[in-house]
Structure 1
Amino acid sequence: MTTQRTRTTARAARSPFVFVLAALACAAALGWTYWAFVRTTTGQFADESAWQEAGVAAPDTQLPFLRFLDTLPAISVVLAAAAILFVVLRRQRYGAAVVAVAVVLTSNLTTQVLKNLVFDRPDRGVATLAFNSLPSGHTTLAASAAAAVFIIMTPRWRPFAAAAGGAYSVLAGVATFINLWHRPADVVAALLVVGTWTLIGGLIIMRTGDHWNRWEGFGSGWGSSRGWLVLCWILGPGGLLVSAVLYVSVQAAGPAAVPGTATVPLFFWWGLTWIVGVGFTLSGAAGWLFAAQARRAPATDCRR
């Protein structure tokens, strides 16, 4: 009886409604980002000002970021493919690999459909590009590759994967912004697209992976250190707070009459901290949610 009781563990993703609610919250945030920064005059002006100020505030960094962007698709595909092949060949988790591939494909397909078929960019009297560029395709590719690696990791590696994946996604998003490929809202929208599908795919993996989706809690190895998520929570909400203060300050002072002509590039710093804040907040939230919903392993279980 004691042995039987010891082997009894909670099922992974025992509260699937939390995943669904979080995915809906990401989708709602995506819709709000589009409405606030594409459909309104104030949002268009802020987004455009940040984009134009990026060319003035960080001109010397554009060439290194351009080189990074040129190699970004290859890097992202290699990272995701290597992780998925490891899971298939070494761990034989075929279902998890299929879901990870599906997260990458659906995220990128969603971005292209939204950008080219669903969303448009109305004329609000702001001097800007006439076509819609939200969400960012490059950011979606990078973030979805990081998400694929994150969701197929065993739970004891997910805290590290959340922080590393968040850093990679943020770096890709910042690169597209600083290199003047995309506005901040384009990058944030891409992160939210990937966040939505990551939560849906992660729920499927956790509900069908009880035999391996288990862990002994934070601190069972350096990859499962709680410090990785603490770092995400510092950079994420901290970045959002700074971006909110910058945005309110600029609006209160009254923006320049023409986008990008302000003497201090506060819109640029608003956009940069917004991207960092959203990227790491999503990473920290995903890392915490997946850890909280993982199947708890008894002391007699071996870690895999």
Structure 2
Amino acid sequence: MNYEKRGGGSRSLPARVGRRLWVTAATALVLTAAVYTLSVRTVTGQRWENAVLAGRRQDETLAAARDANHMLDHVTVSSLGAAVAMLMLIGLARRRPALTAVAVGTVGIPLLLAEVLKRYVLSRPELVDAPARLSGNSFPSGHTTIAMSVLFGLALVVPYRLRGIAVGVCALWAISVGAYTVAAGWHRPSDTIGADLLVLAVACALAGLLARTGRVRPATERPSPLSALFLAPLCLVTLGGLGGGSLLLLESVVRLSPADPAVPRLAYAGGHALAAGASAAVTVVLLASLHRIDLDDPAASP
């Protein structure tokens, strides 16, 4: 097929896709900084997230806590290694070495950045009085970074026709990991949202590099008819999580006071919803950025 005759020519497609992906990556980084600043570096942000953790302790049931910890305990070095091996097998089976490297980098680079940022760069000042257990720095979430980076690596490396199904299935697990970090009290909502945005930035930047080297083409296959079935819940979680979570956040912030017993419950519900909604939202953004785009055209010159 002569791609130069389609919609402005294939020669301009890599440049357009690359710009779109890099703009998305830059926007994600700006939003990461905004989430950190508002949640970690302000009194209101710290008080609200402390209320989230307090509400979690009030509303927690033994079964819910056990389920959350059980899920997170499976996110280990061994499971991460198995996930990376799976991405490599898919990429190499498709004979896409550059795409394989990008998929693996989408996992490795965010993990490295998350650890460096958490340990050495993004400190948590003591702006409000709180118990020692609430004062430790945890931005961004390592568990969420692992889950979302594996999801995004899979989104990049699978064939376009199967992308929606693969992402829809894996997203159920990845979103659950992010939400469970809040439910288990391992992380604050901002930790999860920051990790989501960090992984989105890296995935889009690396995919943008593929595009700028000409390794993209218009998708010639239609997505599987089952894609809509798997992606519909993702859109619902995005709308419900961000919409409902934002309303609960606003209400809890307006009422933010140690004397109001309803605040922790509202804050926890809002934080939990936002954690799930943000993970779903960044996944939708990645898919939208790659809509009708097949990555790593084997006919392209590096």
Q: Which TM-score band (shorter chain)? A: 0.7 to 0.9
1:71 to 48, 64, 74: 74
- Which region of structure 1 is more displaced relative to structure 2, 169-178 or 265-274? 169-178
Q: Distance in 2 between matches of 1:138 and 1:274?
A: 16
Which position in structure 1 is the counterpart of 2:20?
18
Q: Shift in Å at residue 86 of structure 1? A: 2.5
Distance 1:213 1:94, change over 3 A: farther
1:255 maps to 2:246: no
1:188 maps to 2:189: no
1:97 maps to 2:114: no
- Which region of structure 1 is more displaced relative to structure 2, 275-284 or 59-68? 59-68
Which position in structure 1 is the counterpart of 2:59?
57
In the alignment, is the contact (CA less than 8 A) between 1:139 and 1:187 conserved in 2?
Answer: yes
In the alignment, is the contact (CA less than 8 A) between 1:51 and 1:184 conserved in 2?
Answer: no
Distance 1:256 1:26, change over 3 A: same
**Structure 1 counterpart of 2:291, one-letter code:** A
Q: Distance in 2 between matches of 1:200 and 1:210?
A: 14
- Which region of structure 1 is more displaced relative to structure 2, 168-177 or 205-214? 205-214
In the alignment, is the contact (CA less than 8 A) between 2:256 and 2:263 conserved in 1?
Answer: no
Q: Distance in 1 between matches of 2:176 and 2:164?
A: 18
Give the TM-score of the pair, scaled to structure 2.
0.85
1:141 maps to 2:146: yes
Q: Shift in Å at residue 4 of structure 1? A: 5.5
Q: Number of matched residues?
A: 288
Distance 1:214 1:201, change over 3 A: same
**Structure 1 counterpart of 2:274, one-letter code:** W
Which position in structure 2 is the counterpart of 1:39?
41
Q: Distance in 2 between matches of 1:208 and 1:168?
A: 33
Superposed CA deviations along residues 128-180 of structure 1, whole A, max 9, x for unmatched, are: 53331100111111111111111111111222233334322211111211111
Partner SS state of residue 262, structure 2? coil
Q: What aligned pairs does 1:140-179 form with structure 2 within 5 A after superposition?
A: 140-179=145-184
Superposed CA deviations along residues 105-140 of structure 1, whole A, max 9, x for unmatched, are: 110011011101111111112315333110011111
Q: Distance in 2 between matches of 1:211 and 1:105?
A: 23
1:109 to 105, 109, 112: 112
Instruction: Structure 1: state its 5+ residue gaps.
Output: 298-304
2:248 to 246, 269, 273: 246
CA RMSD of aligned residues (A): 2.7
Q: Shift in Å at residue 286 of structure 1? A: 0.9
Q: Which runs of 4+ in 1 moved over 6 A?
A: 5-9
Q: Shift in Å at residue 230 of structure 1? A: 4.1
- Which region of structure 1 is more displaced relative to structure 2, 262-271 or 16-25? 262-271
Q: Distance in 2 between matches of 1:54 and 1:38?
A: 19
Give the TM-score of the pair, scaled to structure 1.
0.85
Q: Distance in 1 between matches of 2:204 and 2:3?
A: 31
Superposed CA deviations along residues 6-65 of structure 1, whole A, max 9, x for unmatched, are: 997736645121111111111011101100110011111111111221122232211122
Which position in structure 1 is the counterpart of 2:279?
279
Q: Shift in Å at residue 206 of structure 1? A: 4.4
**Structure 2 counterpart of 1:278, one-letter code:** A
Partner SS state of residue 265, structure 1? helix
In the alignment, is the contact (CA less than 8 A) between 1:111 and 1:190 conserved in 2?
Answer: yes
